[in-house]
Amino acid sequence: MEEETSKLGKIIYNLIDAMFWIADETARWWEISKITIQVKTFRRQKAVLNKLIKENEKKSIGISVAQTAELASLNESISKLAAKEDFLKSKCWSWTPFIDFTLIFLLFLYGVISINPIKKIQDNPRTNIGVFGGQISRVRELPFQGHSIITDSIWFDNRLYVAGNNGVTIINTVTGQTQNIKDLPQNFFAKDLQIINNHLLIAGYSGVFEYENNVLKTLFDENKLPNKLVNAFAVVNERKKQYLIGTLGDGLFRTNGDSIIPISNTSNYIIRSFGHQRQELWILHDEGILTGNSDKLTSLDLQVLAGKKTRCMVTTDKNVFIGTDQGIVAGYRSSKNWVWTMLSSIKPGFINDIINAGEVLFIASDEGVFRYYKGKMDRLSSIPTYSLSLCDTFLAAIGKSSVIFYYFNFSGNIGNSSIFGVVPELGTYTPTLPITTLPMEVRPNYKRMPDYGLIETDGKEPLTESALSTESYPPDQKPMVELPIELQRPVFSDITKFNNKYLLATTNRGIWSFDGEVWKQIEHKGIGNANKLCCNEKHCYAYSSEFGIYEIVDGNTKLIIEPKETKNLKYLSICDEDTLLLLYSDGKVKTFKNGEFNLFFTIPNEFVNNCHSIWKVMDQYVAVLNQGIMTHESNGKWNLMFFQGNIDSARIADVINLNQKVLYIALNDGRIFEYYNNRLPLSGIVADHPNSINYSGNLWVASMDSLYLKEKNTFIAIPFKSRDRILGAFPDKENKNIYVFTASGLRILNKQK
């Protein structure tokens, strides 16, 4: 008691001393102010007197005795007052450095605490990410009837918590029993669940609550929440009570302790999800995406999101995945820019939730549960699913009538595995829809099938032999069109049809034309082994990286681009009637028109080596990559669409552009794709490795020694074999025969009469 009295006395004495110090300091500054005014008055008088003395000196009038006495009096008064002012200031300024430093420190501290913008949020605890890349080992299912609308789910305290229109339901995964969190407001609509420091945060309509040890507490007072319809919630710093609150229609708010501040440029938005990447905040709302920090948010204008409704988002260190009503949009960050693409062109479609575990992405959709891993999209189940949650050893997929648990193969001891308990593999519940493990896709009965991964082949008929040709004799006995003596032992490398003639490039005999009867050599003038051809309806060009680009006109060639300009040229295509697109091996793309070059754009560094060619399709510039199609937008950004199936070892075999409207792409493993209207569907599969495609009445696909025709949405094997590389197939003028051009010449197939 005496110690407390002594402490209280010291505090009172210090306060009294502080009061006297403030009074003395105020008196001193008051005295200093008075002295300053007096000194300025005396100095003005002295200045006037000095001016008068100087004027008298110019008139040869000497200084009087009175003036001398007045000047001495002024100097003495100024000296005394200045000395007194310095003394008083020395008493005051002794504390000034300490006071200034304290004020600056307090201002800095205030800025760090209150003014520093929010750039990132806290993540939920991570799971064991090494499990989920393997195959499914078993599947369990429990009945669940908790909500008609499911919004979120999370693992907490070895139990599964599911949010929805009836609040929050707790599922015991061992017994299958469920219970609701009590004391939530009546008709509480839970929207978002977060785990921070061993307690659960529940946000929804109306408010945010904290749940720990079966006790529910309100996180914000009712009068402090500007909008009680909380649609999304994120923790910035729980110790300092810093949060991000996304509302339904009122935009975004942030908290700094007890105050809740609206964030500009977000009003009227419905905030759906939060994420962060490096020192950048990502906010998903009903109209798009905002990035930056809480003081400066900018809208991210993505062409790939046009016409789509955003639903959910997940961010990783380098990627951003956005679920929409038309599939998943993926963003890949490189060292300089972003590449945006649709993750899958067909399924899944209507996305409800996304969750990631390292490189593995799990997707909940109306079409079921999918896993995206290393460029491959697998369907785990066809049951509509609305939320996903990861534990250390399995994935929980929540539907309206059941919860499905997917167990994956793993090695080593995984913690918390005892929470599963001893239960039957499928429990005692009979689901309304069948439960599947990894489905084996029913594929057509091809003669030989490479590994495509799981791709959509539903409704595609198996390859059959065509009735197009009725020949039954061995290939070596088929009619062989004789070549001119100058073309003995040629190696044909490319073919195109131009002005009702077939133009063929060789690697050793220049360029030749064939009109169905006569062979004629094109005057090459040093064109050498320019063994690539490029043409449209009005122009035809031959090119190579060593010999330049020549235009073929009336049986002659005309050099239009010097060899020095085509060094490292990778591909040439025509984008307009008289404009060429040149792709170089360093990723640069140039246009050539009217004798002038212009640097058009540059392929992103990470895709340079995989870029096969550049085309113009329906007023859109398209780069064909080994992984898929990359479109160049008007704002300079790129959008990437992956080929369906496995793309790890995929390589482009050949590409053709039909009337600048449809792009046909053949992959080396037999898959044929079409690109049109920003869609990339699978056109079909051939049972061999293609090396060339061409379009003449129908789509023709040639492998090393086989030929295929697309007829009625089915690829049909033509009964023709060649020991030489097939370049292409064309019906003749009368449509009675088929010209099959190979590396060593021309063969004719007779059609069925």
Instruction: Read off the pLDDT of residues 696-714 as tens digits, 9 standing for 90 and up.
Output: 888 999 887 788 888 878 8
What percent of the chain has a predicted confidence (pLDDT) above 70? 81
Residue-averaged pLDDT of the chain: 78
In the chain, domain spans: 2-94, 302-409, 475-568+612-750
- Which helix (DSSP H) or strand (DSSP E) does residue 726 occupy? strand 726-731
At 652, list the tokens. 């482009």
What percent of the chain has a predicted confidence (pLDDT) above 90? 13
Residue whose token pair is 């991570």: 126
Report whether pLDDT(468) > 60: no
What is the architecture, at CATH level 2, of domain 475-568+612-750? 7 Propeller (2.130)
The SS3 call for residue 370 is strand
**CA–CA distance, 104 with 206 (Å, rounded to integer):** 42
Report whether pLDDT(467) > 50: no
Residue 432: predicted pLDDT: 31
Determine contact, residues 135/409, Cβ cutoff 8 Å. Answer: yes
Residue 489: predicted pLDDT: 63
Q: How confident is the model at residue 91 (pLDDT cuts 50, 70, 90)?
A: low
The single-letter code of the amino acid at 266 is T
Residue 421: predicted pLDDT: 33
Report whether pLDDT(117) > 90: no
What is the architecture, at CATH level 2, of domain 302-409? 7 Propeller (2.130)
Phi-psi region of 732 (alpha: psi -120 to 50; beta: other; left: phi over 0): beta
Q: What DSSP state is assigned to residue 562?
A: -
Q: What DSSP state is assigned to residue 564?
A: G
Q: Which of 646, 132, 639 is nearest to 377 (CA)?
A: 646
**CA–CA distance, 313 with 311 (Å, rounded to integer):** 7
**CA–CA distance, 749 with 735 (Å, rounded to integer):** 11
pLDDT digits (tens, 9 = 90+) for 166-193: 899 999 888 888 899 888 888 788 999 9
User: For 159-168, 462-471, 587-596, 623-632, which range has the lowest pLDDT when averaged over its residues?
Assistant: 462-471
Q: How confident is the model at residue 582 (pLDDT cuts 50, 70, 90)?
A: very high
Residue 672: predicted pLDDT: 92
Structure-model confidence comparison of residues 401 and 66, the more confident one? 401
At 145, list the tokens. 């009837």
pLDDT digits (tens, 9 = 90+) for 338-395: 888 888 766 788 899 999 888 888 999 988 899 888 778 888 888 889 999 988 778 8
Helices 2-58 and 65-93, packing angle to 10 deg: 160
Helices 65-93 and 96-110, packing angle to 10 deg: 50
pLDDT digits (tens, 9 = 90+) for 246-296: 888 788 888 876 788 888 778 778 889 888 887 788 889 888 888 887 677
Residue whose token pair is 């920003």: 678
Report whether pLDDT(434) > 60: no
Residue 556: predicted pLDDT: 83
Asked whether the domain spanning 475-568+612-750 has the same topology as the one spanning 302-409, the reply is yes
Strands 338-342, 327-333: parallel, antiparallel or unpaired by DSSP?
antiparallel
CB-based contacts of 378, cutoff 8 Å, min separation 6: 370, 371, 372, 438, 454
Residue 2: predicted pLDDT: 55
Residue 118: predicted pLDDT: 61
E-assigned strands of 294-337? 296-300, 310-315, 319-324, 327-333
CA dihedral 553, 735, 660, 609 (to 10 degrees): -80
Determine contact, residues 414/392, Cβ cutoff 8 Å. Answer: yes
pLDDT digits (tens, 9 = 90+) for 40-79: 888 888 888 788 878 877 777 777 777 777 778 888 888 8
pLDDT digits (tens, 9 = 90+) for 501-546: 888 888 777 788 888 888 888 876 655 566 789 988 888 998 887 8
Mean pLDDT of 713-726: 80
**CA–CA distance, 144 with 164 (Å, rounded to integer):** 12
User: For 18-27, 140-149, 328-337, 675-684, which range has the lowest pLDDT when averaged over its residues?
Assistant: 18-27
pLDDT digits (tens, 9 = 90+) for 180-234: 988 888 878 899 998 887 889 999 887 889 998 888 888 887 677 888 888 898 8
Q: pTM for the full model?
A: 0.50
Mean pLDDT of 434-451: 31
Structure-model confidence comparison of residues 679 and 452, the more confident one? 679
- 111-136: b or e for each residue (b if 16 or more CB lie within 10 Å)? eeeeeeebbbbbeeeebbeebbbeeb
Report whether pLDDT(94) > 90: no
CB-based contacts of 106, cutoff 8 Å, min separation 6: none
DSSP structure string for 614-637? EEEETTEEEEEESSEEEEEPTTS-
User: For 52-56, 578-582, 727-731, which range has the lowest pLDDT when averaged over its residues?
Assistant: 52-56
Strands 556-561, 548-553: parallel, antiparallel or unpaired by DSSP?
antiparallel
CB-based contacts of 675, cutoff 8 Å, min separation 6: 617, 622, 629, 662, 663, 665
